[in-house]
Amino acid sequence: MKVLLVPVFFAVAALAAPLASPVEFQDNLAFNSPIINYPSLAVTKPDHELLRRQIQMGKPVPKPRPSPPSGPSKGAPRVPTVTFVHGVASGDPLSDAVIIWTKVTSKDTAIPVNYQVSTTENFSTLVQNGTVVTTGDVDYTVKVDVKGLQPTTTYYYRFVVETPSGTATSPVGKTHTLPTEDADIESYKLAVVSCSNLPQGFFNAYNGISRRTDVDVVLHLGDYIYEYGNKKYGDGTAIGRIPQPDKDIVTLSDYRTRHAQYKTDPDLQLAHRNVPWITVWDDHEFADNSWKDGAANHDPATQGPWEARKLAAMRAYFEYMPIRSALIDGKGKIYRSFHVGKLLDLMMLDTRIIGRDKTDEKKDQVINAPGRTLLGAEQESWLYNQLSESSQGGTKWRLLGNQVTFAPMKILGQTTFGDSWDGYPASRARLMSHLIDNNIHNTVVLTGDIHTAFAFDVPENPYNPFKYGPISGRGSVLVEFVGTSVTSPGAGFAAVAGLRLSQPHLKFGNGKDHGYMLVTVTEEKVSTEYVIVGAIDRRTRAEFTDAIVETTSGSGRITSVQTFD
């Protein structure tokens, strides 16, 4: 983002000095319900008044561990009973706020954590501070919505815990706020990722993103974790990446353990540490090919009710990801929007859990039913309003953070990707009609899920030569950039080659490599650089530009494709 960034240094610390009396505790958002208006999902919060009295009376909080029988040697350094092995993260940036996150590793009880804001790198001058508490009830996660920040400003943050046994300090994280909605922004860059399956390889894509200095935000489009046991979808034995627990995860404890394991990955930690993230779930944060009332990889007879599993997965996701609670109707609404000056509006969709009718239907009369929906009626209405308000308000670009492929990909006239928008043609048609009828231009869909890189023109019917011209792009309404995976296996070279022959609107494809997309938005164009990593079977910093694909303002089509050998 080519705007002036004012450096401010931000820290989160726990009791680095004796606490003044009285102590005022603020909310650790991890205890809240993932759904603001669904309070039954909240966790009972710590007794702040009891903790306050303990501190004022000089009682140790958390309780000290007993010394070894012989006692520590005189003058030996104190060893803290708290560590930060899961790193730090930030996310959901606004122009005046950002979420910060960590997990404290401890067997102690309630741990007070104080956060501090400073204008100096060594945190010598505090701008604001406050104290939160974490416990085992939320798996010792800490999540704070830091408000009152300045727009377009870089912040640094860290967590420090001092216990009677010593001091522990987290890595320092870096984040920044968005510009105000009326700001003139020259450019904005998103690193777009999805589908990171731990046993199938190393997260070198995350490492590559962490080493860049030009990324404004990481956009994760889902499948941040996978639910399988080892060897069910990838074998991590040889590379020391066996999922924990080693089974299909079902319970809250299972999902927490899997999220915690992923957060110990050093490459993922680096990417979280250096830039804020905006995330959304897909199916594998729950179970393969999930929908609102079930999943392909869920057996109620052996794994219990789907609703219980879904809520457990949702609870763990909220605890472990730097994301705000959603205002929802009780179903798990995660869709939301972000405004980056006058340049772009980002609308994050949930094409998986909130409203999706049963997936992978086979009968044409079911697939083509007029009322069939991928988003649900409420999300559809929200999206149409967001698109119209964005266009009418003069915002240049509209980006949709989407999970499953939007563009049609029929083979010999048949629906072959029933889990994508192809399985819900009425939903796609309604969205396309809204864009056309309301003269909404400069819409770009960003997609994950399929583990294969694509770039599409998106006309109403790409297979009808009277409605779409493959060479000129005539008839295309919007474009779609689909990213490859971090590690999950793609379609393969031969399959993509076949699709290139049968899909006239497909302008680029790569089904064998892994990596991420760098999406740069300017007034004139949206340019997507497809970055591929050198390998996933070992850690490597090698990465290459596979292609740069662009769409110019007002065109509604792919206007440039440059590939590199």
Listed by start position, the domains of the chain span 6-176, 187-563
| Percent of the chain whose pLDDT exceeds 70 | 87
Helix (H) or strand (E) holding 401: strand 397-402
Say which residues have a Cβ less than 8 Å from residue 352's Cβ, sequence separation at least 6.
Answer: 222, 281, 282, 283, 286, 290, 291, 403, 404
What's the alpha-carbon Rg for the chain, to the nearest Å? 24
| 290-322 residues labelled b (16+ CB within 10 A) or e (exposed) | bbbebbebbeeeebeebeebbbbbbbbbbbbbb
> Does residue 114 register a pLDDT over 70?
yes
Question: pLDDT tens for residues 445-473?
Answer: 999 999 999 999 999 999 999 999 999 99
CATH architecture type of domain 187-563:
4-Layer Sandwich (3.60)
Highest mean pLDDT among 40-54, 105-119, 190-204: 190-204
Residue type at 101?
W
Instruction: Provide CB contacts within 8 A for 424, sequence distance 6+.
Output: 356, 357, 367, 372, 373, 374
Q: Which 3 state secondary structure label does DSSP give 61?
A: coil
According to CATH, what is the number of the domain 6-176? 2.60.40.380
Is the predicted pLDDT of residue 181 greater than 60, yes or no?
yes
Structure tokens at 320: 């472990």
State both tokens at 48: 């702040």
SS3 375: coil
pLDDT at 71 over 60: no
**Which amino acid belongs to residue 66?**
P
Q: Which amino acid is at 464?
A: N
Tell me, what DSSP letter sits at residue 428?
Answer: H
Read off the pLDDT band of 412 (50, 70, 90). confident
Q: Which of 276, 427, 278 is nearest to 359 (CA)?
A: 427
Average pLDDT over residues 477-487: 98
Tokens 């290139």 belong to residue: 500
And the tokens for 322? 């730097």
Q: What is the largest CA-CA distance in the chain?
A: 87
